[in-house]
Structure 1
Amino acid sequence: MTEAARAAASSPSGSSGQSAVDDLVALLDLERIEENIYRGVSPASSPVRVFGGQVAGQALVAAGRTVPVERRVHSLHSYFIRPGDPRVPIVYEVDRIRDGRSFTTRRVVAVQHGKAIFALSASFQIEERGNEHSSAMPEVPDPESLPTWNEAAEGYGLHTSDFPRPIDVRYVSEPPWESREDGPGEAASRVWMKADGKLPDDPLLHLCVMTYASDMTLLDGVLAKHGVYWGLDKVLGASLDHAMWFHRPFRADEWLLYDTASPSASGNRGLATGQFFSRDGELVATVVQEGLIRVIKPSPGEGTQV
């Protein structure tokens, strides 16, 4: 979870639990300013740039608002083009690419200061029945038996009390800020996560909340493999692209296992893949992202702490 992710998970009111979830719902409730044009804002407590999960979630909201409710999003592909400015609204322009008999395609461009900062393409489909199979969920402890993010991060200088979160994150694997103490580790991470309160029943909202949350821990495996972590080492990072496939219905306010891994890192870029499983073991979504990760080596005689 980058510094931007931790701050973006803060609610505008500095609240936690249900109040923070309500603030996240409000954050994703875009203002319609014209046909196919929507406007979103950032939390007052945002860092120097907009959290990637926020702009992806808001863009998906904009796309979904132009699609009949019986058509559900099944995939999205997106690129982060420029850092977002949290001090000004983001305008989302929706292009209605195609409305077919079974599928609907939308393209969304997020604009600030007259320039594109993010682009998303999403495909929606009517419900259909057919052959099914999926990966099996790994055996993991129940989320209730695991410490909260604040409890796990206490004592590591990660400003745990400064960032109330609408997303409850429980690490199954060793958190990367702990594993870094032993040097390079496994290029993987597992967490349970869910909205830390009750969400409305709108299926599109649950998809957008998952999109928001999917960017929070996805690059953990890249960091763990090299024994570094945001805020504890000199690491500069940003999401470059983000793709998701939604396989089955789910609720984002019920526990989901997020099983992630990094198959490769090169050229200051790390590739990460993730699978979301519902608590009953169903694979509900798959995620792939490439992130910019620059590790700045300390000068001779300089410590590794920022």
Structure 2
Amino acid sequence: MSEAAAIALRDKLSLEQLDLDLFRAQNEATLGNRLFGGQVLAQALSAAQQTIEERPCHSLHGYFLRPGKVDIPVIFQVERIRDGKSFSTRRIMGIQNGQAIFSMDASFQVKEAGLHHQMERQPVPPPEALEDDRLVALRMTDLGPHAAWMTRERPFQIRSVAPIDQAPTAKTSQAVWIRFSAPILNTTTQQQLLAYASDMGLVSTAALPHRPNIPRDRLQMASLDHSLWFHDDLDLNDWLLYVKDTPVSHSNRGLNRGSFFDQEGRLVASVIQEGLMRVAPIPDQG
């Protein structure tokens, strides 16, 4: 685990206020020049949260409009759509070079008691019985161009239920345990970090049914939209199980779903995302 990487991410979720409802963000360094969608989601939520007091977010719905660039700060502009007795709505636009790269609507609710039910979590090995993905990756010798990405220092500890060094097989779901590697002191930061984590490995879930027939290097994938619902309090300083599945892909788009459970089996958040999924042609060998 890397506490330094976790602290660096946590700090980047604290935005600089430029004017009323206008904020500037710092970008994470990545191996390419493209922003990670989870960073944009988390920072957009952070911007909206700064315009609201004592109302946690219960849902957000975002669209990735253009690829974000790492070397240009993102400006987040928040529009206060409504403040009612129980709910508040904010519209957030992420801008680079005067162009919108991301738009999101987020809704916030005063905490209320009410009826409760949830689906059950499927039995999986506990995190203590699994090895950290980064440690597994460090032993692997066939990572190729993905080696630097898979062995990097990460802000989250990630332990896949199916070890990542197993040969790929066609399937429609995957599950990982995740835990943040630095202290989280408040609910707003917990929600920001869950928004970030909800984009980790989600878009690639739609590729699972097509492996090993289509190699990873031939898949061109990008998130198109992202919806997240917070159901209950959560604690990313403890392990959460992230279960992801893909019900359908069509027209070069794959649909992905996710559920976050704590160790007691409470469903604390749900995610749905559609991603672009194109297969690159086989290079001409002639």
Q: Post-superposition shift, 1:220?
A: 3.5
What is aligned with 1:166? 155
State the AA in 2 paired with 1:225.
Answer: P
State the AA in 1 paired with 2:236.
Answer: A
3-state SS of the aligned residue for 2:217? coil
* Conserved? CA contact 1:39–1:89, under 8 Å: yes
How many residues were matched structurally?
Answer: 281
Candidates 47, 72, 75, aligned match of 2:32:
47
Judged with a 3 Å threshold, the aligned counterparts in structure 2 of structure 1 residues 271 and 45 are, in CA distance, closer, same or farther, namely closer
**Long gaps (5+) in structure 1:** 1-15
Note if 1:252 corresponds to 2:241: no
What is aligned with 2:13? 28
What is aligned with 2:45? 60
What is aligned with 2:180? 195
In structure 2, C-alpha distance between the alignment counterparts of 1:166 and 1:236, rounded to whole Å: 25
3-state SS of the aligned residue for 2:48? helix
Q: Post-superposition shift, 1:219?
A: 2.6
Note if 1:103 corresponds to 2:87: yes
Note if 1:135 corresponds to 2:122: no
State the AA in 2 paired with 1:167.
Answer: F
State the AA in 2 paired with 1:19.
Answer: A
Q: Post-superposition shift, 1:293?
A: 1.2
Candidates 109, 121, 141, aligned match of 1:155:
141
What is aligned with 2:189? 205
Candidates 205, 227, 244, aligned match of 2:211:
227
Q: Post-superposition shift, 1:101?
A: 0.3
TM-score, normalising length: structure 1? 0.87
Judged with a 3 Å threshold, the aligned counterparts in structure 2 of structure 1 residues 223 and 50 are, in CA distance, closer, same or farther, namely same
Candidates 76, 85, 88, aligned match of 2:72:
88
Q: Post-superposition shift, 1:97?
A: 0.3
* Conserved? CA contact 2:82–2:90, under 8 Å: yes
**Long gaps (5+) in structure 2:** none
In structure 2, C-alpha distance between the alignment counterparts of 1:194 and 1:229, rounded to whole Å: 32
TM-score, normalising length: structure 2? 0.93
Judged with a 3 Å threshold, the aligned counterparts in structure 2 of structure 1 residues 220 and 178 are, in CA distance, closer, same or farther, namely farther
* Conserved? CA contact 1:46–1:86, under 8 Å: no
Q: Deviations over 1:144-165 (max 9, x none)?
A: 2112112333223132575210
In structure 2, C-alpha distance between the alignment counterparts of 1:96 and 1:284, rounded to whole Å: 26
Percent identical: 37
Q: Post-superposition shift, 1:24?
A: 0.8
Indicate the RMSD between aligned Cα atoms, in angstroms: 2.0
